[in-house]
Amino acid sequence: MTSLDWWRTSAVYQVYIRSFADGNGDGTGDVEGLRSKLPYLADLGVDAIWINPWYPSPLLDGGYDVADYRDINPAFGTLVQAEHMITEAHELGIRILVDLVPNHCSWDHAWFTAALDAGPGSPERARFHFRDSLDGPPNNWQSVFGGPAWTQVDDGQWYLHLFDPSQPDLDWTHSEVREEFASILRFWLDRGADGFRVDVAHGMAKDPSYPDLADHVQILSSAKMPNHPHWDRDEVHDINRQWRAVLNEYDDRMMVAEAWVSEESLPKYLRSDEYHQSFSFDLLMAEWNAEAYRSTIAGVYDPANALGAASTWVLSNHDVMRHTTRFGLPADVSWRTWPVTGPVDALDSALGERRARAAALITLGLPGSSYIYQGEELGLPEVWELPWDVLDDPVARRSEGTQKGRDGCRVPIPWTSQGASYGFGDGDAWLPQPERFAAYAADQQIGVAGSFHSLYRDALRIRREHFTADAAMTWIDSDPGVLAYERGSGVRCVANMGSTPVPMPAGDVLLTSQPDLTDALPSDTAVWLWPT
Ligand code: NOJ
């Protein structure tokens, strides 16, 4: 493998910077906090870090509302600190992925304030989607966060925002928008970024006739509709190619798409002149059973492998309920709306943690990149009990009380079981941490046999030794309820996802998701082994 292929097998750790580590005691995570934890991440064994948006921003969507793409939010630090952090990460062998947010900016971005000042018909407005409309919004498009996707300004025009009103969509048919983003890519590549995670990679192109949508109820899943007026349009691929050409001017850089598109469409994003990889979120939706996992994994791996692209595996991120909690909910309960829709006592936390440990071995054993969301290696649960009045996420605001939104997975990390904000910083954290976080703190887990942290650390070490030489995998016929595959090296992962124990497969055990296994592989347990 050449170094050009680093991204094919990486374990990428996702840092939600606002909640990772607070270096200056103001209750908000920051670049210095992250820098102080680089040795922790190196010891854990990750290959790269993806940092959620760290730019100047009013933080009305957690930083995905970018006011300036070429600087660091003063609440998080300075550009100089970011440059030092990138250098130190590289010294530790950790690569850095920056979050690129091209579909929309913030209403505080200089282009948008200029557009408001300049008025209808101005060149400044042409960088956005401003429309005239006398009777309400120009069409029936809905914002992903709820409510109309159009907001009216004082002079009567409407602007498009597929997300929050504070996130005006850029018009990607405009040459200045394209040139600006090519320049932003170079700005971060010149500062040592190893690549980009690209936000809403399927959203930039819009049908210029802005037609009404026939069915706008399920905005996210409608992305899988053919010829959608604002998702996954063919014109997006020209943009992808332009960016890939910029990355190709540098050595060893990569980009990964956040593209919520159909299985048929995804391969187009992975063509050799487009993305290096795309997230697959299908495991987030898959039911906990061997059949569902097998078909979901095959649905991701087979097309990517056929194209020579790397698969990606994601169990959690900053947009979804943490999977230790998700796995503890009954299959018929929607994790997007729970606990609002209740019942609260439906949650079986112990079961969720057991499954999360097994899922770690299932996914970290697969070919491709694994994305690990901060705190996942500590087994952190969702803080679903956050009171409504502390919630910050626009989803909570705009869903009219039907969803608590994404704050529950963004609660600051507990580093120590004692102290203010459990070692996150010197004072209170920007979101309250529950008392149960003390038991999950990193200092309670590091070096402790059987802890989540030890499981992840061991798994990442063994993964590097035995799982990353090639992308080959074959399914092994097994009992119903059991998921089993073999990797190119001959090493196997066997997971009992059924409800009764099965015999322990024969072989030399490398790692198990539960301690002290002997003859049986209990339900919700996985093992890595060399078969004999
Ligand atoms: C996807 C990001 O992951 C999410 O956090 C954000 O709200 C939307 N894109 C809009 O940028």
d(CA 430, CA 261): 34
> Is residue 1 pLDDT above 60, yes or no?
no
Q: What digits encode the pLDDT tens for the residues 492-506?
A: 999 999 999 999 999
pLDDT band at 220 (very low <50, low <70, confident <90, very high): low
**Helix 349-364 and helix 452-466, axial crossing angle in degrees, nearest 10:** 10
> 119-157: per-residue pLDDT in tens?
999 999 999 999 999 999 999 999 999 899 999 999 999
DSSP string, 63-74: T-S-S-TTS--T
Q: Which pLDDT value is given to residue 341?
A: 86
| Six-digit token string for 15 | 């840092």
Residue 331 DSSP SS3: coil
Predicted local distance difference test score (pLDDT) of residue 217:
47
Tens of pLDDT along 18-73?
Answer: 999 999 999 999 999 999 999 999 999 999 999 999 999 999 999 999 999 999 99
Quick check: 444 pLDDT over 80?
yes
Average pLDDT, the chain: 95
- Give the model's pLDDT for residue 399: 83
Cβ pair 94, 46 in contact under 8 A: yes
CA distance 312 to 255: 12
For ligand 1, the distance from its centroid to the CA atom of residue 187, given in whole angstroms, is: 22
pLDDT of res. 527: 98
Strand duo 369-373 + 11-15: pairing: parallel
Residues annotated catalytic, as ranges: 199, 249
Q: In what order do the strands lie in the sheet containing 95-100?
A: 277-278, 254-257, 195-198, 95-100, 48-51, 11-15, 369-373, 312-314
pLDDT at 221 over 80: no
**Per-residue pLDDT tens for 244-263?**
999 999 999 999 999 999 88
Decide: 105 in ligand 1 pocket, CB within 6 A: no
Query: Does ligand 1 come within 6 angstroms of the Cβ of 7?
Result: no
Strand partners, 14: 50, 373
Is residue 344 classed exposed, middle or buried when 0-12, 13-18 and 19+ CB atoms within 10 A define those classes? Answer: exposed
Nearby residues of 229 by Cβ (< 8 Å), 6 or more positions away: 141, 206, 207, 210, 211, 213
Q: Counting runs of H as helices and runs of E as strands, what totals does the chain give?
A: 15, 18
Most distant CA atoms of the chain, gap in Å: 75
Query: Residues 326-339: what's their mean pLDDT?
Result: 93
CA 134 – ligand 1 centroid, Å: 31
Of 16, 50, 196, 200, the one to substitute when testing ligand 1's pocket (max ligand atoms within 8 A of C-beta) is 200
